[in-house]
Amino acid sequence: MSSEEGSNRSFDVLIMGAGFAGLCQARHLMLKVPGLRVGLIDPKGMDQAARDLKVGESLVEISAMFLYRELELHEYLIENHPPKYGLNFHWPKKIGKTDTIHDYHHIWTNGSPDLPSYQINRAKFEADLLQMCVEMGVEFIQGKVKDLTIGAASEPHEVLVKTKSGATKFSGRHLVDAAGRKFLIGRKLDNVVRDKDELVGLETGSAWLRVDDIDRDLFQTRREETNGSASHYYGTNHWFGYGHWVWMIPIEKESRALSIGVVHHKNCIDGSKLNSREKFLRFLKANHRILFNMIESGTVLDFKYLPKVAHGSREMISKDQWYVIGEAANMYDPFYSTGLVLAAHNIELVTEVIRAKKADEPDAEEKREAYDGFILKASRIYNHVYQDHPKHLGDANAMSWRIYMESIFWFGVLVPMFTGKWHHQLDFIKQFHRISDFFFLKNDSVISSFYHELTRAQESGKTLGMLNYTRTDQLAFGYNPLRLWDSFRQNSKYEPRRLNVLLGIRNSIFYLGLLYAKLRVKNSGIFGLFEPKTVKHLFSLAGWTVYAAMGELAHRFEVRNRPGNSQFAMEEADFAANYRYKEELVEWVEEEAGKQGKAGADVLADPPVTTL
């Protein structure tokens, strides 16, 4: 149903904002909690042209999995949005000479990804998903939120909306802010974190545009036949320089439309130098001429400058039954497309809290508190991942090591954690807090020490060499960070708690230890391993490896009699009990003799012959 004045003014859930996060939340609720009355408020209409320009066209494994598994959109993505072939990274060989692809050092994705992912045209995706939500029974209210009243505890919330027919009040037992940087709840309750000191010093701006009908040959005339099976063009290409990185993302299957944008650190590049289309193009012409040439070959569709990218929230899943998701909740840096990843986690947890409260489950409040703690901790981790970026981005030595190290945790911990729905498990969330604090959030954490070592190498002028995260000959034992340790992909172990995330944690910690040791040797020679701080970290990593190994064995014991996939187990049991092959067919020829004869004549009649 789509209306401005629907007769039902009261909803179970009111969602403010029909962008990516709000639409995904609405569809997820309709799929997972049947019978909910969901209202969706947004000033934009249902036409694709009404959708504005946004950062976030690139999915990664978690956000893609959320869309095709949780929202059941796999065929839609295949049919409507370009595939994604991993992440490619480029550093200029010489400053000021960036005319062609050969003027850069590269890390290329060298094969097709194990888990599918996509580049998405946000305007098309949001218009299509809005239509789907309406067809499912979501009531779309086209209008602008003018004011809202937050109810305490389980009291309903009220939202005043200005529609074409005038101001109307709507109420909802649960209220979701998905209205992006309007921060409707955040401003009302002083819930937004924007001070750079609370964001690990992160202070960035971003300029970007969309361009169509580009000359693709300006990117790459020919593929090197020995350089892998993945498409370079359909990867997300990252271009680096001092204090900034630039993305290049194909967003259309039919045309040659690209999204090209920069994230810049303000202590390196002032926003006044990038805050117009002309300034952005001059920046590219000077620093990444290849991208400037591609833009010049096509037609620019639009441009936008965002003066402040990074922000967070103090609370996301409230005891008073309000929730903030998507950009209304957080955005730190689109470098690893983490905004949509955090949104995917958050949406799932919000749905589970609403479902549990609707069902009056006794542990609903315990879940709510645990889930809020989890998503806040996950947000802080992603925030910390971007610390010291201004120092490292433009240096291929430092940044390639960072990408390698951060990929260890992405594929070894975060992807399997989401896949196995471990972030829903209250006992695992407690372990997640301990691991996060030790590795990322302590003042002297292993990760911050790793970043410090990279800065030391820069200051001393040491050449560490580039690490290629896609190859298996960079560290030890044929390892690369793309490895998925559990057989969940091959054996479809997608049910909660079936995938052994502890196996990935154990091995990730082990290889992080090897990588840290290698970095210390590169920096300080073999004796660098015996410095007290290094010894402390290596012993801690060894202890955590043993701890995770014990958890991994405990999980194996827990699931020893449980199939990896219940559906497959049922099919196998049914096959063993009931299947018997018989050499026979079901008769398909009509019994009546007359009809039989006619059918045979139709089939056997010789076709007419034409003589020339």
d(CA 305, CA 192): 21
Residue corresponding to tokens 């950062």: 55
**Short-list 235, 204, 119, 120, CA closest to 469:** 235
d(CA 112, CA 366): 41
The pLDDT, as a whole number, for residue 49 is 61
d(CA 52, CA 58): 16
Q: Work out the average pLDDT over 381-393.
A: 95
pLDDT band at 377, cuts 50/70/90? very high
The pLDDT, as a whole number, for residue 1 is 45
d(CA 457, CA 520): 10
The pLDDT, as a whole number, for residue 111 is 87
Q: How far is CA 550 from CA 18, 409, 554, 557, in A?
A: 45, 19, 6, 11
Kindly report the length of the chain. Answer: 612
Give per-residue pLDDT as tens, 545-589. Answer: 999 999 999 999 999 999 999 999 999 999 999 999 999 999 998
- CATH fold of 84-117+204-307 reads D-Amino Acid Oxidase; Chain A, domain 2 (3.30.9)
d(CA 20, CA 56): 9
d(CA 194, CA 202): 10
Give per-residue pLDDT as tens, 512-532. Answer: 999 999 999 999 999 999 999
Q: Work out the average pLDDT over 433-459.
A: 92
**Short-list 8, 108, 129, 50, CA closest to 468:** 108
**Do β-strands 2-3 and 139-142 pair in parallel, antiparallel, or remain unpaired?**
parallel
d(CA 310, CA 143): 28
The pLDDT, as a whole number, for residue 7 is 46
Domain regions of the chain by residue span? 1-82+120-193+313-388, 84-117+204-307, 398-575
pLDDT tops 50 at residue 5: no
From the CA atom positions of the chain, what is the Rg in Å? 27
More confident residue, 573 or 48: 573
Give per-residue pLDDT as tens, 415-435. Answer: 999 999 999 999 999 999 999
Residue corresponding to tokens 């350089």: 227
The pLDDT, as a whole number, for residue 594 is 55
**Short-list 386, 396, 56, 400, CA closest to 204:** 386
Give per-residue pLDDT as tens, 243-272. Answer: 999 999 999 888 889 999 999 999 999 999
The pLDDT, as a whole number, for residue 443 is 81
Give, to the nearest 10 degrees, the angle between helix 364-385 and helix 338-358.
170
The pLDDT, as a whole number, for residue 112 is 86
The model carries a pTM of 0.93
d(CA 447, CA 406): 9
Q: Please tell me the CATH code under which domain 1-82+120-193+313-388 is placed.
A: 3.50.50.60
Q: Which parts of 253-313 fold into alpha helices (H)?
A: 277-287, 289-297
